[in-house]
Structure 1
Amino acid sequence: MRTVARVVLVVLVLACGAAPMLPVAGAVPSAVNIDDVTARKIDELLALRGSGRSKGELIELLSGQFLGTPYGAGMLVGSATEPEQLVIDFRRVDCFTYLDYVEAMTRSADRDQFVANLIETRYTDGRIDFLQRKHFFTDWSHTARIAATDITATLGPAAVTVDEHLNAKAGGGSYLPGLPVVDRAITYIPSAAVDENVIGRLRTGDYIAAYADRPGLDVTHVGIFVMTPTGPVFRNASSLATDNKVVDSPFTDYVRSTPGIVVLRAQ
């Protein structure tokens, strides 16, 4: 989405779109608004999945089909006072909806499964509700359905763990009114310590995030690690004026622009 040094997200998942609320955990909406472009893209990606690929290979394959997709800020709809809506829109993505779509797609064989898996990926216990939305990247490794494992601490001795109060602003108040403060230990690798040994422990398909060195947030941007024949890249929905779309950024260049990285490995 953007280089962290230039733009900082208040929260990762903000969005717009349409579809009815889902009041019952585990249920799938009887009607979901999906535009024609998105519907065709879903079917095309599902047809590509095939069989016999590892999780990382699927993430690489499917995420690559979004390269060039325009970046869109504020893609989700819902707040403590506005009903949450299920957004499925492949015409534009922000950094976290991009990961939502890719992760859900890796576990789906048809469109109905994709919708159900997207709900499970985006919302705790599969309930379409603002308070159940996984607003923070590390929610993926802490709340049901668990989408990934936090492997940051295993990447090297330089890993640092700090106690964060997610959603609490330093001067008081919260980033997201109505959402409780979440006390969570966040582990990151400082950018200066992301050397060849650390990169060598990463796998294609790992979810990479830029650690937030400010109170109340865990990370400020997310993307996907992909090892290519010419070196590692950070595949992400970039809001930089020079990009404004899903791109492959040189991994080491990106890391140097951040305070550090948090790494989740998809299950």
Structure 2
Amino acid sequence: MKKHWQGLFFLVGGLFGGANASDFEHTKDPNIESVFYQSIATQTDSMNVVARVERLSHLFMGAPYVGGNAGEGVDGQFDKDPLIRFDVFDCTTYVETVLAGIQSISAKSFKDNLIKIRYQDGLVNFVQRNHFPSLDWLPNNRELLQDITDRVAQDQSQRAITQIDRAAWYRHLSAKSIACKQDCKPLLEKLHETGQHFQIAQADIPYVPLSALFLGPNKQVNQALLDRIPSGSVINMVRPNWALKKWIGTNLNVSHQGLVLRQGGRLILRHASVTHQKVVDEDFIDYFAQYDESSSLKGFNLQLVRL
């Protein structure tokens, strides 16, 4: 059974700390950046979305997991972590990199597409960053992603409704959250103040309950449901009204993101895993079978990628 904190996405990972990127030595090709840009430059109109997702996401297999590894760059007001990086990932920056890559043909178009995915209205600053998947990231990427959860779950679909308190979340941000190492107090005070204009907002997200995936007391796998999941989809792990308020100032309803791929008739979850501390493939059924009824993880949301 998974531990309660396994699978935290980058926003929470930054608050609770974690390893620094400098603690890792990337075991893959040191020229991964040039390999990535060469790969997107050779994408053709005949390559469908699934082929593009499979090809680009595979480039980073084994890359280390580092929570909260991205920021607004050296010119950022609050978070000066790099805007673009290929050496380490968290679950969201991994998905963002792949999604931006499949739309791009050059380094410039990749940067433009990454910014469009990561920031509301494409404005690069901490406040505009899509920090919360169900409240920001998914709603602000509707041109690229289509929610197919209800289609997959059919009449078993459920909804996770959570009140997200951004202002309280800002007040809980620490120096480590924004990779600040010295003279942090004035910066943190400014950051905490910056977020106080936000009102509590409702985040509503549909999900396929695990009870629809594993049927009856014997937990028989619902193969018909699995067959309705398209390869290349984005998956969001749903924890309805996830009780994190005392740690980060607000409850949440999404804890992790990844990609679903179909290989040889078998579904796999490809993701930057905090458990394995790297980008890995895991059998889809095996991954979810580790969660019992006492877990806060209750299901998953699915998004079809469209170009």
Shared fold (TM-score, shorter chain, > 0.5): yes
Residue of structure 2 in register with 1:40 after alignment? 34
Q: How does 1:6-85 map to 2 (within 5 A)?
A: 6-7=5-6, 9=8, 12=11, 37=31, 39-77=33-71, 82=78
- Structure 1 segments unaligned to the other structure (5+ residues): 18-35
The Cα of 1:9 is off from its aligned counterpart by: 2.5
| 1:186 is the counterpart of 2:213 | no
Q: How does 1:48-127 map to 2 (within 5 A)?
A: 48-77=42-71, 82=78, 87-127=83-123
How far apart are the structure 1 equivalents of 2:33 and 2:108?
11
Assess if the C-alpha contact under 8 Å between 1:160 and 1:190 holds in 2. Answer: yes
Distance 1:14 1:6 in 2: 10
Aligned length: 240
- 1:266 maps to 305
Please report how far the alpha carbon of residue 114 of structure 1 lies from its aligned counterpart in structure 2 after TM superposition.
Answer: 0.4
1:136: how far off?
Answer: 2.1
The one-letter amino acid paired with 2:225 is V
Distance 1:182 1:108 in 2: 33
Partner of 1:27: none
Is the CA contact (8 Å cut-off) linking 1:108 and 1:114 kept in structure 2? yes
Q: CA RMSD in A?
A: 2.7
Instruction: For 1:112-261, list aligned pairs within 5 A.
Output: 112-138=108-134, 139-143=136-140, 146-155=143-152, 156-167=154-165, 174-177=168-171, 178=195, 180=198, 181-194=200-213, 195-213=222-240, 214-215=242-243, 216-229=251-264, 231-240=266-275, 243-256=276-289, 257=291, 258-261=297-300
- Rounded to whole Å, the distance in 2 between the matches of 1:198 and 1:174 is 39
Does structure 2 retain, via aligned residues, the 8 Å contact 1:10–1:217?
no
CA distance in 2, matches of 1:120, 1:54: 21
Structure 2 portions without partners, runs of 5+: 15-19, 22-29, 172-194, 214-221, 244-250, 292-296
SS at the partner of 2:256? Answer: strand
What's the CA shift for 1:196?
1.6
Task: Please give the alpha-carbon distance, in whole angstroms, between the structure 1 residues aligned to 2:37 and 2:9.
Answer: 33
Task: Decide whether the 8 Å contact of 1:208 with 1:223 is kept in 2.
Answer: yes
Aligned equivalents of 2:40, 2:131: Cα separation in 1: 27
1:53-87 CA distance string (max 9 Å, x none) = 11122111111111111111221236x97256652
Report the Cα distance in structure 2 between the residues aligned to 1:106 and 1:4, rounded to whole angstroms: 33
Range moving further from structure 2, 129-138 or 7-16: 7-16
**Greater C-alpha Rg:** 2
Alpha-carbon distance in 2 for matches of 1:249, 1:231: 11
Greater percentage in helix: 2
Work out the CA distance in 2 between the residues paired with 1:8 and 1:247: 13
Q: 1:141 to 1:205 in 2, by over 3 A?
A: same
Tell me the SS of whatever aligns to 1:207. Answer: strand
CA–CA separation in structure 1 for the residues paired with 2:69 and 2:120: 19
Closer/same/farther in 2, CA of residues 144 and 262 from structure 1, 3 Å limit: closer
CA distance in structure 2 between the partners assigned to 1:92 and 1:196 by the alignment: 35
- In the TM superposition, residue 42 of structure 1 has moved relative to its aligned partner by 2.9
**What is the aligned-residue identity percentage?**
26
Q: Is the 8 A contact 1:141 1:147 kept in 2?
A: no
Tell me which moved more, 246-255 or 143-152.
143-152
Task: Give distance in 2, aligned partners of 1:47 and 1:144.
Answer: 23
CA contact (8 A) 2:161 2:204 kept: yes
Change (3 A) 1:86 1:128: farther
Equivalent-residue separation in structure 1 for 2:8 and 2:89 (angstroms): 15
